[in-house]
Amino acid sequence: MNNLSQVFQPRFINLDYFFAKFFELLDYLIWLLFKVVDWLSHQIFLSIALSSIFFICLIFVVINILRLRTRRKKHLSHFVTHEESPKERTVKWENIEKKILSDNPNDWREAIIAVDNLIDTIIQKIGYKEGESMTERLRSIEPSDFDSLKDVWEAHQIKIKIVKEGESYPLTQEEAKEVLEKYKKALKELKYI
């Protein structure tokens, strides 16, 4: 019992040692916290720097895409405006529209074929000469170069049916007007009308 009482006497417990270890641990945790914050600040700086570089590159790419599209449209309108006078183009377009308003289905077919040939001529003059047919030339055009490409493609498919099936193709005046509107949208984009 004597030995046991000696162990629990305060002279054998070194409180300074425990407090020193506690403060060493606390000091280490604070040092570790500062290291983590320092490391994160470098990572944040790096990520901000990389994000800024990528953002500047993105702006550069967008500006160049817009510049190319503008230049492309000027190029397209340049070819169209040097071909015929505005009066000639207006007369040609009004004749096509008159045929669509006719009661004769053959006039509708002629109008669709005429405007399809007109679009094909314009497409060739602006530089899309690859291919033997308008179908092949339309396939060579990038959708970003020609916003009305889908409409022209759909209208051209109806023109192909009209040519292949002739009078047996059941063309209604409403369908003919829809086809003409699709072509009209393309001609406006190409600054023909």
Give the whole-angstrom CA distance, residue 150 versus residue 76: 18
The per-residue pLDDT string of the chain (193 residues; one tens digit each, 9 = 90 and over) reads: 556 555 555 566 777 888 889 999 999 999 999 998 888 888 888 888 889 999 999 999 999 999 888 877 776 665 555 567 778 888 899 999 999 999 999 999 999 999 999 999 888 888 887 888 999 989 988 888 888 999 999 999 999 999 999 889 899 999 999 999 999 999 998 888 8
HSE toward the beta carbon, residue 73, CA cutoff 13 A:
15
The two structure tokens encoding residue 160:
């192909």
Residues with Cβ within 8 Å of residue 111, at least 6 apart in sequence:
96, 97, 99, 100, 176, 180
The two structure tokens encoding residue 26:
């606390």
Reduced to 3 states (helix: H, G, I; strand: E, B; else coil), residue 106 is: helix
User: Closest by alpha carbon to 159, among 133, 139, 125, 122?
Assistant: 133
pTM of the model: 0.57
Instruction: Tell me, letter by letter, the H, E, C secondary structure of 110-175.
Output: HHHHHHHHHHHHHHHHCCCCCCCCHHHHHHCCCCCCCCCHHHHHHHHHHHHHHHHHHHHCCCCHHH
